[in-house]
Amino acid sequence: MEEKKFEGKSKIIVDIDGIHCADCALNIERSVEHLSGVLSAEVSYVLSSATVYYDPHRVEEEKIKKAITQPGYVVRETLAQRTRAFWSEMRPFLFMAASGITLVLSYISGWLYLGPAYLPTTFAVASLILGGYPILKSAIEALFIPDLNVDTLVSIAAIAATSVGAYQEAATVIFIMLLGEFLEHLTVGKARKAISSLIQLAPKTAWVRREQEEVRVPIEEVKAKEIVIVKPGERIPVDGKIISGCGSINQSMLTGESIPIEKGAGDRVYCGTINESGSCEIETTQVAEDTKLAQIKRLILEAQAEKSPTQRVMDRFTRYFIPAILLIALATFLITGDAIRAITILIVACPCALVLGTPTAVVAAIGNAARQGILIKGGAYLEQMGRLKTLLMDKTGTLTYGRPKVVGINGLDGLNEKEILYWAAIAEKRSEHPLAKAITERAEELGLLIPHPESFENLIGKGVKARWNGKTILLGSAQFLREEKITIPESAMEVLKQKESEGATSLFLSLDHHLLGLISIADTLREKAKDTIGQIRKEGISEIWMLTGDSELVANRIGKELGIRYEADLLPEEKVLRVKEWKKQGQTVAMVGDGVNDAPALAAADVGIAMGAAGTDVAIETADIALMTDELEKIPTAIRLSRKALRVIKENIAFALVFNTVLVFLSAQGWVTMILGAMMHQASSLLVILNSMRLLRKDG
């Protein structure tokens, strides 16, 4: 169980055992919501957990737990409770097995004429009592809330069938309903298992160096600043910084990227990732519930427990649906005088498939997205993403790498690029300026060995002056070189103007007052940015805009390369205004940014999408959807998955409504038997769950 407090309210997340169907979840939800002081309760059948928001001044946590356990469910906290929970989980299926055995004996004794004439009826009544007990118990408990649920309909149907002497038929219906619940539980369990495997990745123990010895301790005992040793093939048990060793780190559980990353001293690593090669020593920064994995786990659980708008509508609908079915069944009996028809209507009209249609799809989609490094923080954002019409994107750090790179080298007098870069890198070797780093990084990429200059002088706003091997190197603006009495030919100035028009910064290089050429530096597009924009358009989103605080020149260059429209020179508050303007036009708007600088715009959008959240707590907290890496291609993946989820939800709801309506009509005509109706009802629930589970596939 987890508790959080915020804004004068409290929130608890409670693990519950004994939830066997969607109706159980609704029972708990309504039981808790009837408490004074409870603001809202959301119970997930798939996750077997409840998320409750409450006023701690009006209602105590223990009272909330009592409201959960009173109907017979178990809050999973202590060992004794977990033992009790096991039997709570098993009890309905033991009753089902006993009911099934006695039902079979009823039919066999009747077919083979074994024993006295009353024996088949006796076995049928026994089966009815064994199977009907958990259903009747649930129905009675619901009346104390007060409320009507699916078990209410089934109980009334069974009692009515018994009253007209249809003992075997009533027992068969009860057994089919229990068997359907069992199969439903198993099917949903597969989805639950797929999700659990994602969030149960943290190692239970860790090797820690204490007093010059390596000792294995429970992960809860590892402290900050301690040195943790991780061997090849082991999962990293903490968040921390590598101080020695290491090699390939598989971060797929965190980022969705299957290709391992080479890491060494000084690099950050995260709990749950796999050290595939080489031993390493890690200085711990976060442990247990403070790690990135724990943070992501909380988000996934909260997101899956949170109900989508469609699910809330369906829940409200079922509150009126069940009384309506009771009235339809009563009217059928009064008109036809046929009790069996009315009983069958009660059986086939149970809205299980309708209740399951949305939450199973939402949970499957969010779980799938998380496996691919996309954290969707709730069903509401999943649905909004599925309805997306306009996509607004930040430039720096989103569409571009967010750091300057060498984009052009123009030499004079036949000098090649390597020669120019060699001398420029010597001059910038001692500089910490971003442009200097761009030059030295490019030199390293080309395999150039750059010596340290004998002297170095940084002339702020102008450039740098350095000496090496008796030669004077100047690197900087055209104005700086002219001040140093260096002539710049017109052809070089034309190149400068051309590069500036493209949004690049150019530096002139001279050696012993002889001009060698110029180096152009700019922020560059991400490798797959153009392809990603094309994929987004294929998803039907034509309104794609870049919002940037950068200059018109730079924005124009990037906009032309990507083929998208843009607005430049925008302050953060102006980005917010643009988001609001699009929303006023009735558009569903998503904003993509880094989660920090763009936080106001992310918050203003219908869906805020943060890039590269693996290293940024703020990004995870502020965004509605967090991409764990800087991979732009995850955006069309998120759109595609959200749209498929929305489509599956609509399919589930349409199928459930049509199926129930047709079955009710056929039952009213007397064309469907009780047993066939029970079988078809359970089949509809299973079909809805299986349809939702398609969303667990990686291709979405």
Dist. CA 621–CA 616, nearest whole Å: 9
- 350 Cβ partners below 8 Å, 6+ apart? 150, 153, 154, 681
Q: Residue 371: what are its φ and ψ, rounded to 5°? A: -65, -25
Tokens standing for 282? 């890690």
Give the count of alpha carbons within 13 A of 333, CB side only: 17
Tokens standing for 360? 């199973």
Q: Are 185 and 193 in contact (CB under 8 A)?
A: no
Specify the long-range contacts of residues 105-111, CB closer than 8 Å, at least 24 apart.
106/168, 106/171, 107/168, 110/168
Q: How many residues does the chain have?
A: 700
CA 685 to chain centre: 25
Strands 625-627, 607-610: pairing is parallel
Find out whether the peptide bond into 116 is cis, omega within 30 degrees of 0.
no
**Residue 531 falls in the annotated catalytic set:** no
Question: To which residue do tokens 């597009």 refer?
Answer: 525
Beta-bridged to residue 405, according to DSSP, are: 522
Q: What's the Cα-to-Cα distance from 478 to each of 171, 308, 407, 485, 507, rounded to whole Å? A: 94, 59, 18, 11, 7
First-to-last C-alpha distance (Å) of the chain: 31
**Which residue out of 23, 394, 550, 624 is catalytically annotated?**
394
Q: Are 450 and 425 in contact (CB under 8 A)?
A: yes
Find out whether the peptide bond into 146 is cis, omega within 30 degrees of 0.
yes
Beta-bridged to residue 216, according to DSSP, are: 207
Which of these, 69, 11, 2, lies nearest to 38 by C-alpha position? 11
Is 208 strand, coil or helix? strand
Strands 390-394, 589-593: pairing is parallel
Strands 2-6, 9-17: pairing is antiparallel
Residue environment code for 244-275, b if the CB has 16+ CB neighbours within 10 A, otherwise e: ebbbebbbebbbbbeebeebeeeeebbbbbbb
- 453 Cβ partners below 8 Å, 6+ apart? 426, 427, 429, 430, 466, 467, 468, 473
- 450 Cβ partners below 8 Å, 6+ apart? 422, 425, 426, 429, 440, 443, 444
Beta-bridged to residue 239, according to DSSP, are: 286
Characterise 245 by phi-psi region: left (phi > 0), alpha (psi -120 to 50), beta (else).
Answer: left
Tokens standing for 55? 């006023």
Task: Look up residue 93 and give its amino acid.
Answer: F
Q: Are 116 and 49 in contact (CB under 8 A)?
A: no
Any idea what DSSP says for residue 550?
Answer: S
Q: Are 383 and 643 in contact (CB under 8 A)?
A: no
Q: Are 39 and 54 in contact (CB under 8 A)?
A: yes
Query: Helix %, strand %, coil % for the chain, to 5?
Result: 55, 20, 25
Residues catalogued as catalytic: 394
